[in-house]
């Protein structure tokens, strides 16, 4: 071998070795072949030198750990790829990293804290989330509630994750299972005139609120089923009232168990009464302990309402009733409309099942309803005329004392004429006899 040849071979070997050694640091392209996709900066590549390695993790108390591995390809291809690592991890000082980070008690606390950075750019969504039931539950200390990264992912962030991945099913398993059996679930992914709704279409993605505290769910159904009002008007009397008072699943999940929820409502402000307003205490103001577990009866309820009304002067408090499904899983057991309840007497009959479970509710300080059990006869006692002025299901919640009045009217109406007639007949015979005697005497 000549000296020149030896030199060429040496250069080639070194070059090859250099290429192989720097393989992890080579430019990362987008997954699409044949296209030049987004690239990561040299800074990001520095991070990935360590965080690109599989198996890298951080350990917390109780042996929990969080993977610190980042899929560089996926991150580069995601919506956050152009932002780079430091957009979210600006707190990292490379001169002291690793080793200088805050410590966290648990893996979950770490994940939740890291997700806090999202609100720096996504202020609007953070604000929506802050008012949600998820945020409320989180603030109360239930760390199982989701934060941004639980739905959107931490690095390969997905825009519109609620629609694409339906992350809700990770926690709400039973409900998702019920949903899959419904016409909505069965239509998922299938072509059709309307796109099948997923959780976020009805419950919203960020400002998720307790299902029973807003009219949002009612409007969600009607947003897609635009002809529902007209379709019901063909056969259902007082359609708009029904749609206001009866939740859609109450009829469209026909096997579900129902209850009447009577919500404290302020007629002056036209809003549900909330317990966070300082003067309102459902049990304190009238000295009645509604939390003791004893179901409220008519008298207690009337006293309670008067007490609440006094505290909120000037205002007029009443109870607005709504027929709803007892639990979330059953509320998702929707069926084809041909199987929906159309028999009026399911409700409009004395002793109907939906009226056997009655709760009184008030919106609590955290936005969730606080429920108190009530005796079913609050729906049809005489005091209900005042206390439940806004809730009445004809025939199903009729006031019992009026039945007594009707019985008396029937009795009087039938027996008075019969008695009068009988007396006339009896006395006519006597009169005929007397007239005969008088004629003979003459």
Partner 1 sequence: MRKLYVHPLPVRIWHWINAFGFVLLILSGVQIRYSDVFHVMSFAAAVQTHNVLGGVLIINYFVWLLFYLFTDKIRVYHPELNPAKHFRGSLRQLWYYGYGIFKGQPNPHHVSVYRKFNPLQSMTYQIVMILLVPIQFYTGVLLWDVNRFAASIQMFGGVRVVDTVHVVLFTFFIGFIFIHPYLASLGHTTLAHFKAMITGYEEVEVEDEPGRGEPR
Candidate segments 35-43, 90-98, 219-227, 389-397, binder of partner 1 by CB under 8 A: 389-397
The reply to whether 420 sits near partner 1 by the rule CB under 8 A is: yes
The reply to whether 428 sits near partner 1 by the rule CB under 8 A is: yes
User: Which of 143/402 has CB closer to partner 1?
Assistant: 402
Report how many residues bind partner 1 under the rule CB under 8 A: 44
The one among 38, 160, 417, 436 contacting partner 1 by CB under 8 A: 417
The reply to whether 438 sits near partner 1 by the rule CB under 8 A is: no
* Gap between the Cα atoms of 434 and 237, Å rounded: 63
Q: Which residues pair with 322 in a beta bridge?
A: 261
Residue 429 host element (H or E): helix 400-441
Percent composition of the chain: helix, strand, coil (DSSP 3-state, to 5): 50, 10, 45
The reply to whether 406 sits near partner 1 by the rule CB under 8 A is: yes
The reply to whether 6 sits near partner 1 by the rule CB under 8 A is: no
7-66 positions binding partner 1, by CB under 8 A: none
Burial level of 321, CB count in 10 A (0-12/13-18/19+)? buried
Residue 67 host element (H or E): strand 65-67
CB of residue 311 to partner 1, shortest distance in Å: 21
Q: Which residues pair with 57 in a beta bridge?
A: 67
Asked if residues 262 and 321 have their Cβ atoms less than 8 Å apart, the reply is yes
Task: Report the first-to-last Cα separation within the chain, whole angstroms.
Answer: 174
User: Which of 327/389 has CB closer to partner 1?
Assistant: 389
User: Which of 74/236 has CB closer to partner 1?
Assistant: 236
The one among 11, 50, 267, 422 contacting partner 1 by CB under 8 A: 267
The reply to whether 416 sits near partner 1 by the rule CB under 8 A is: yes
Candidate segments 55-63, 87-95, 292-300, 401-409, binder of partner 1 by CB under 8 A: 401-409
What Cα–Cα distance (Å) separates residue 330 from each residue in 2, 201, 250, 342? 85, 19, 9, 18
Tokens of residue 241, six digits: 């009232």
Q: How many residues appear in the chain? A: 442
3-class state of residue 99 by DSSP: coil
User: Which residues are near partner 1 by CB under 8 A?
Assistant: 235, 237-238, 240-241, 244, 267, 318, 343-345, 348-351, 384-386, 388-392, 394-395, 398-399, 402, 405-406, 409-410, 412-414, 416-417, 420-421, 423-424, 427-428, 431
């Amino acid at each position: 071998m000549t000296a020149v040849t030896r030199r060429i071979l040496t250069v080639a070997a070194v070059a090859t070795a250099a290429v192989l050694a720097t393989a992890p640091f080579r430019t990362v392209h987008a997954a699409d072949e044949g296209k030049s996709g987004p690239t990561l900066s040299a800074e990001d590549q520095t991070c990935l030198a360590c965080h690109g390695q599989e198996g890298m993790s951080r350990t917390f108390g109780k042996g929990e750990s969080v993977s610190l591995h980042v899929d560089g390809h996926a991150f580069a291809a995601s919506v956050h790829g152009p932002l780079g690592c430091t957009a979210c991890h600006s707190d990292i000082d490379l001169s002291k990293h690793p080793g200088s980070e805050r410590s966290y008690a648990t893996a979950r606390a770490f994940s939740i804290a890291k997700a806090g950075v999202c609100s720096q750019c996504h202020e609007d969504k953070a604000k929506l989330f802050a008012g949600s039931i998820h945020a409320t539950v989180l603030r109360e200390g239930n760390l199982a509630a989701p934060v941004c990264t639980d739905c959107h992912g931490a690095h390969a962030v997905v825009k519109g994750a609620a629609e694409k991945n339906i992350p809700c099913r990770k926690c709400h398993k039973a409900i998702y299972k019920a949903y899959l059996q419904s016409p909505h679930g069965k239509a998922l992914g299938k072509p059709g005139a309307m796109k099948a709704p997923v959780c976020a279409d009805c419950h919203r993605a960020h400002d998720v609120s307790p299902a029973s505290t807003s009219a949002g769910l009612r409007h969600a159904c009607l947003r897609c089923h635009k002809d529902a009002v007209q379709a019901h008007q063909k056969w259902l009397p007082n359609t708009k009232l029904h749609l206001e008072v009866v939740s859609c699943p109450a009829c469209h999940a026909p096997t579900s168990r129902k209850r009447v929820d009577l919500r404290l409502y302020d007629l002056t402000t036209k809003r549900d009464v909330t317990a966070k307003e300082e003067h309102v205490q459902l049990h304190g103001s009238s000295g009645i302990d509604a939390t003791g577990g004893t179901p409220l009866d008519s008298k207690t309820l009337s006293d309670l309402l008067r007490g609440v009304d006094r505290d909120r002067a000037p205002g007029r408090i009443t109870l607005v009733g709504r027929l709803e499904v007892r639990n979330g899983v059953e509320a998702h057991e929707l069926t084809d409309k041909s199987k929906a309840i159309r028999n009026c007497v399911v409700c409009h009959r004395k002793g109907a099942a939906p009226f056997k479970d009655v709760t009184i509710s008030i919106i609590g300080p955290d936005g969730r309803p606080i429920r108190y059990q009530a005796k079913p006869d609050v729906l049809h006692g005489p005091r209900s005329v005042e206390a439940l002025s806004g809730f009445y299901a004809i025939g199903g919640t009729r006031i019992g004392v009026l039945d007594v009045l009707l019985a008396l009217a029937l009795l009087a109406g039938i027996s008075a004429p019969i008695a009068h007639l009988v007396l006339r007949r009896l006395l006519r015979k006597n009169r005929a006899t007397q007239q005969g005697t008088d004629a003979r005497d003459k």
